[in-house]
Amino acid sequence: DAGVIQSPRHEVTEMGQEVTLRCKPISGHDYLFWYRQTMMRGLELLIYFNNNVPIDDSGMPEDRFSAKMPNASFSTLKIQPSEPRDSAVYFCASSFGLEPGEQYFGPGTRLTVT
């Protein structure tokens, strides 16, 4: 299996622009997680899905952030409009069921908003 796939790997955009991050989870996994990692705040859970349905979006910082999972093999995280404080590495992770330690992380998307 190719693991969790994220694209793009790097994104540089100007403040006010829309940014869309993409994730393909491991085939057969029924949970998908979006995280954000910064030096100041560490790794934070933004939102997670179970069987394509959002379960907990309490970590989404504000209305500028939205996430969708239209099918079992694809999810997007969108920021509109983007701001410099959104600069971070965004990770997608997936897992099968509730087994502890079974979350597999993608390589991340490094976002820079200027």
Partner 1 sequence: QKEVEQDPGPLSVPEGAIVSLNCTYSNSAFQYFMWYRQYSRKGPELLMYTYSSGNKEDGRFTAQVDKSSKYISLFIRDSQPSDSATYLCAMMIMIKAAGNKLTFGGGTRVLVKP
- Please give the residue ranges that form the binding site for partner 1 (CB under 8 A): 4, 31, 42-45, 48, 50, 55-56, 91, 93, 95, 98-108, 110
Torsion 61-37-67-15 (CA) sign: positive
| Beta carbon of residue 53, minimum distance to partner 1 (angstroms, whole number) | 11
| Beta carbon of residue 37, minimum distance to partner 1 (angstroms, whole number) | 9
Determine if the peptide bond prior to 81 is cis (ω within 30°): yes
Structure tokens at 84: 């410099």
Torsion 63-34-10-42 (CA) sign: positive
Q: Which residue type, as a one-letter code, is found at position 76?
A: T
| Beta carbon of residue 13, minimum distance to partner 1 (angstroms, whole number) | 19
